[in-house]
Homo-oligomer: A and B are copies of this chain.
Protein backbone atom coordinates (compact mmCIF):
# COMPACT_ATOMS: atom_id res chain seq x y z
CA UNK A 1 0.00 0.00 0.00
CA UNK A 2 3.04 2.18 0.19
CA UNK A 3 1.03 5.01 1.72
CA UNK A 4 1.15 7.48 -1.08
CA UNK A 5 -0.11 10.83 0.07
CA UNK A 6 -1.47 12.87 -2.83
CA UNK A 7 -1.77 16.61 -2.45
CA UNK A 8 -5.20 17.09 -4.01
CA UNK A 9 -7.96 14.90 -2.83
CA UNK A 10 -11.16 14.94 -4.80
CA UNK A 11 -12.79 11.77 -3.80
CA UNK A 12 -13.09 12.06 -0.09
CA UNK A 13 -16.25 10.85 1.37
CA UNK A 14 -17.61 11.06 4.88
CA UNK A 15 -16.41 8.56 7.44
CA UNK A 16 -18.69 6.13 9.16
CA UNK A 17 -19.60 8.84 11.65
CA UNK A 18 -20.12 11.50 9.02
CA UNK A 19 -16.93 13.53 9.41
CA UNK A 20 -15.10 14.82 6.34
CA UNK A 21 -11.40 14.26 6.91
CA UNK A 22 -8.71 16.72 5.87
CA UNK A 23 -5.08 17.26 6.71
CA UNK A 24 -5.94 20.43 8.60
CA UNK A 25 -8.70 18.79 10.60
CA UNK A 26 -6.39 15.95 11.58
CA UNK A 27 -3.61 18.27 12.70
CA UNK A 28 -6.02 20.42 14.68
CA UNK A 29 -7.55 17.42 16.37
CA UNK A 30 -4.09 16.12 17.22
CA UNK A 31 -3.16 19.46 18.80
CA UNK A 32 -6.37 19.45 20.78
CA UNK A 33 -5.80 15.88 21.95
CA UNK A 34 -2.27 16.63 23.10
CA UNK A 35 -3.31 19.86 24.77
CA UNK A 36 -6.11 18.23 26.68
CA UNK A 37 -4.72 14.86 27.65
CA UNK A 38 -0.97 15.14 27.40
CA UNK A 39 1.56 14.04 24.81
CA UNK A 40 1.02 10.36 25.44
CA UNK A 41 -2.61 10.81 24.39
CA UNK A 42 -1.48 11.08 20.79
CA UNK A 43 -1.66 7.74 19.12
CA UNK A 44 -3.01 6.72 15.77
CA UNK A 45 -5.77 4.79 17.41
CA UNK A 46 -6.86 7.52 19.78
CA UNK A 47 -6.65 10.13 17.06
CA UNK A 48 -8.85 7.99 14.89
CA UNK A 49 -11.34 7.67 17.70
CA UNK A 50 -11.36 11.42 18.30
CA UNK A 51 -11.94 12.03 14.62
CA UNK A 52 -14.64 9.39 14.37
CA UNK A 53 -12.84 7.38 11.74
CA UNK A 54 -10.87 4.20 11.47
CA UNK A 55 -7.33 4.76 12.74
CA UNK A 56 -5.78 3.56 9.54
CA UNK A 57 -7.59 6.21 7.52
CA UNK A 58 -4.91 8.60 8.73
CA UNK A 59 -2.40 6.73 6.60
CA UNK A 60 -4.15 8.17 3.57
CA UNK A 61 -3.03 11.60 4.74
CA UNK A 62 0.32 10.98 6.43
CA UNK A 63 3.04 8.44 5.76
CA UNK A 64 3.15 7.57 9.44
CA UNK A 65 3.33 8.99 12.92
CA UNK A 66 6.52 10.85 12.19
CA UNK A 67 4.99 12.61 9.21
CA UNK A 68 2.08 13.67 11.37
CA UNK A 69 4.39 15.04 14.05
CA UNK A 70 6.21 17.09 11.43
CA UNK A 71 2.90 18.49 10.20
CA UNK A 72 2.02 19.47 13.76
CA UNK A 73 5.38 21.16 14.23
CA UNK A 74 4.99 23.09 11.02
CA UNK A 75 1.53 24.17 12.04
CA UNK A 76 2.88 25.60 15.29
CA UNK A 77 5.59 27.48 13.41
CA UNK A 78 3.07 28.80 10.93
CA UNK A 79 0.72 30.05 13.62
CA UNK A 80 3.58 31.69 15.48
CA UNK A 81 4.97 33.49 12.44
CA UNK A 82 1.61 34.46 10.95
CA UNK A 83 1.57 38.12 10.00
CA UNK A 84 5.20 38.72 10.86
CA UNK A 85 7.00 41.16 8.60
CA UNK A 86 10.68 41.92 9.25
CA UNK A 87 11.40 45.58 9.95
CA UNK A 88 14.32 47.80 9.09
CA UNK A 89 16.46 46.84 12.11
CA UNK A 90 17.66 43.27 11.69
CA UNK A 91 18.51 42.87 15.38
CA UNK A 92 15.03 43.95 16.44
CA UNK A 93 13.48 41.71 13.81
CA UNK A 94 15.45 38.63 14.86
CA UNK A 95 14.48 39.35 18.44
CA UNK A 96 10.81 39.43 17.52
CA UNK A 97 11.19 36.19 15.59
CA UNK A 98 12.64 34.60 18.69
CA UNK A 99 9.85 35.84 20.91
CA UNK A 100 7.21 34.71 18.43
CA UNK A 101 8.62 31.21 18.14
CA UNK A 102 8.79 30.89 21.88
CA UNK A 103 5.24 32.13 22.28
CA UNK A 104 4.07 29.60 19.71
CA UNK A 105 5.75 26.78 21.60
CA UNK A 106 4.40 27.91 24.94
CA UNK A 107 0.92 28.02 23.47
CA UNK A 108 1.16 24.27 22.84
CA UNK A 109 3.70 23.13 25.40
CA UNK A 110 3.00 19.46 25.20
CA UNK A 111 3.00 19.30 21.43
CA UNK A 112 6.10 21.46 21.29
CA UNK A 113 7.91 19.15 23.66
CA UNK A 114 7.63 16.32 21.14
CA UNK A 115 8.04 18.25 17.90
CA UNK A 116 10.60 20.89 18.78
CA UNK A 117 13.70 19.04 17.67
CA UNK A 118 12.59 18.17 14.16
CA UNK A 119 13.24 19.63 10.75
CA UNK A 120 9.84 19.79 9.12
CA UNK A 121 10.97 20.73 5.63
CA UNK A 122 7.50 22.16 5.14
CA UNK A 123 6.06 25.46 4.07
CA UNK A 124 6.06 27.42 7.32
CA UNK A 125 9.54 26.34 8.31
CA UNK A 126 10.98 27.18 4.91
CA UNK A 127 9.41 30.62 5.09
CA UNK A 128 10.88 31.23 8.53
CA UNK A 129 14.36 30.17 7.46
CA UNK A 130 14.11 32.39 4.40
CA UNK A 131 13.18 35.36 6.58
CA UNK A 132 15.90 34.77 9.15
CA UNK A 133 18.73 34.25 6.69
CA UNK A 134 17.50 37.27 4.73
CA UNK A 135 17.87 39.38 7.86
CA UNK A 136 21.45 38.26 8.40
CA UNK A 137 22.30 38.87 4.74
CA UNK A 138 20.89 42.37 5.13
CA UNK A 139 23.25 42.82 8.06
CA UNK A 140 26.14 42.35 5.66
CA UNK A 141 27.20 38.80 6.53
CA UNK A 142 28.62 36.62 3.80
CA UNK A 143 26.26 33.87 2.63
CA UNK A 144 28.15 31.05 4.34
CA UNK A 145 28.41 33.00 7.59
CA UNK A 146 24.76 34.02 7.41
CA UNK A 147 23.66 30.40 7.09
CA UNK A 148 25.94 29.23 9.89
CA UNK A 149 25.02 32.04 12.28
CA UNK A 150 21.33 31.72 11.55
CA UNK A 151 21.56 28.07 12.45
CA UNK A 152 23.27 28.89 15.74
CA UNK A 153 20.66 31.54 16.47
CA UNK A 154 17.57 29.55 15.61
CA UNK A 155 18.87 26.39 17.27
CA UNK A 156 19.39 28.32 20.47
CA UNK A 157 15.94 29.85 20.24
CA UNK A 158 14.29 26.53 19.47
CA UNK A 159 16.22 24.64 22.12
CA UNK A 160 15.43 27.19 24.78
CA UNK A 161 11.80 27.34 23.78
CA UNK A 162 11.65 23.56 23.87
CA UNK A 163 13.08 23.54 27.36
CA UNK A 164 10.56 26.10 28.54
CA UNK A 165 7.77 24.19 26.86
CA UNK A 166 8.92 20.93 28.40
CA UNK A 167 8.87 22.58 31.80
CA UNK A 168 5.33 23.83 31.28
CA UNK A 169 4.34 20.38 30.11
CA UNK A 170 5.35 18.90 33.46
CA UNK A 171 2.67 18.10 36.00
CA UNK A 172 2.10 20.96 38.46
CA UNK A 173 3.64 18.98 41.29
CA UNK A 174 6.96 18.50 39.55
CA UNK A 175 7.09 22.15 38.53
CA UNK A 176 6.62 23.21 42.13
CA UNK A 177 9.24 20.71 43.18
CA UNK A 178 11.70 22.39 40.83
CA UNK A 179 10.96 25.77 42.36
CA UNK A 180 11.35 24.36 45.81
CA UNK A 181 14.69 22.85 44.88
CA UNK A 182 16.08 26.31 44.22
CA UNK A 183 14.40 27.83 47.26
CA UNK A 184 15.25 25.12 49.75
CA UNK A 185 18.15 22.94 48.72
CA UNK A 186 20.31 25.75 47.50
CA UNK A 187 19.66 27.94 50.54
CA UNK A 188 21.02 25.51 53.10
CA UNK A 189 24.51 24.90 51.84
CA UNK A 190 27.77 24.89 53.72
CA UNK A 191 29.35 28.33 53.11
CA UNK A 192 32.83 26.84 53.21
CA UNK A 193 32.16 24.14 50.66
CA UNK A 194 30.06 26.37 48.42
CA UNK A 195 31.36 29.94 48.64
CA UNK A 196 30.11 31.08 45.25
CA UNK A 197 26.58 29.83 45.84
CA UNK A 198 26.60 31.46 49.24
CA UNK A 199 27.68 34.78 47.74
CA UNK A 200 24.82 34.85 45.25
CA UNK A 201 22.26 33.28 47.53
CA UNK A 202 19.72 36.13 47.38
CA UNK A 203 19.55 35.74 43.61
CA UNK A 204 18.98 31.99 43.62
CA UNK A 205 15.19 31.76 43.97
CA UNK A 206 14.97 33.45 40.57
CA UNK A 207 16.85 30.55 39.04
CA UNK A 208 13.62 28.74 38.34
CA UNK A 209 12.53 31.47 35.95
CA UNK A 210 13.27 31.28 32.28
CA UNK A 211 16.51 32.73 30.98
CA UNK A 212 15.21 32.86 27.43
CA UNK A 213 15.32 36.60 26.87
CA UNK A 214 18.69 36.98 28.55
CA UNK A 215 20.16 34.29 26.33
CA UNK A 216 18.66 35.78 23.17
CA UNK A 217 19.97 39.24 24.08
CA UNK A 218 23.44 37.86 24.68
CA UNK A 219 23.37 36.09 21.35
CA UNK A 220 22.16 39.17 19.49
CA UNK A 221 24.87 41.25 21.15
CA UNK A 222 27.49 38.84 19.85
CA UNK A 223 25.95 38.84 16.37
CA UNK A 224 25.81 42.63 16.29
CA UNK A 225 29.45 42.78 17.36
CA UNK A 226 30.43 40.47 14.51
CA UNK A 227 28.26 42.18 11.88
CA UNK A 228 30.09 43.99 9.07
CA UNK A 229 27.51 46.80 9.00
CA UNK A 230 25.10 48.35 11.44
Q: Which residues of A contact B (CB under 8 A)?
A: 66, 116-121, 126, 129-131, 133-134, 137, 143-144, 146-149, 151-153, 155-156, 158-160, 162-163, 166-167, 170, 173-174, 177-178, 181-182, 185-186, 189, 194-197, 199-200, 202-204, 206-208, 210-212, 214-215, 218-219, 221-223, 225-226
Contact = CB atoms under 8 A, between A and B. Distances in A.
- Output the residue of A137, A196, A211 with the most chain B CB within 10 A: A196
A117 B215 contact: no
A117 B167 CA distance: 7
A202 B144 contact: yes
A189 B221 CA distance: 32
Nearest to A212: B155
Given A147-B200, A163-B162, A200-B137, A211 B126 contact: no
B197 A151 contact: no
A168 to B, nearest CB: 10
Given A143-B202, A181-B119, A200-B143, A211 B152 contact: yes
A177 B126 contact: no
6 contacts: A119-B182, A131-B196, A133-B197, A133-B200, A155-B160, A156-B160
Nearest to A122: B185
Contacts of A147: 200, 203-204, 206-207
Contact of A126 (B148, B163, B185, B222): B185
Given A130-B195, A148-B206, 19 more contacts: A116-B163, A118-B174, A119-B208, A120-B181, A121-B186, A126-B189, A126-B197, A131-B196, A133-B197, A143-B203, A144-B202, A147-B200, A147-B204, A147-B206, A152-B214, A156-B160, A156-B211, A218-B223, A219-B219
Contact of A134 (B117, B182, B196, B204): B196
A197 to B, nearest CB: 5
Contacts of A163: 116-117, 155, 158-159, 162
B199 A143 contact: yes
B121 A211 contact: no
A214 B119 contact: no
Contacts of A173: 66
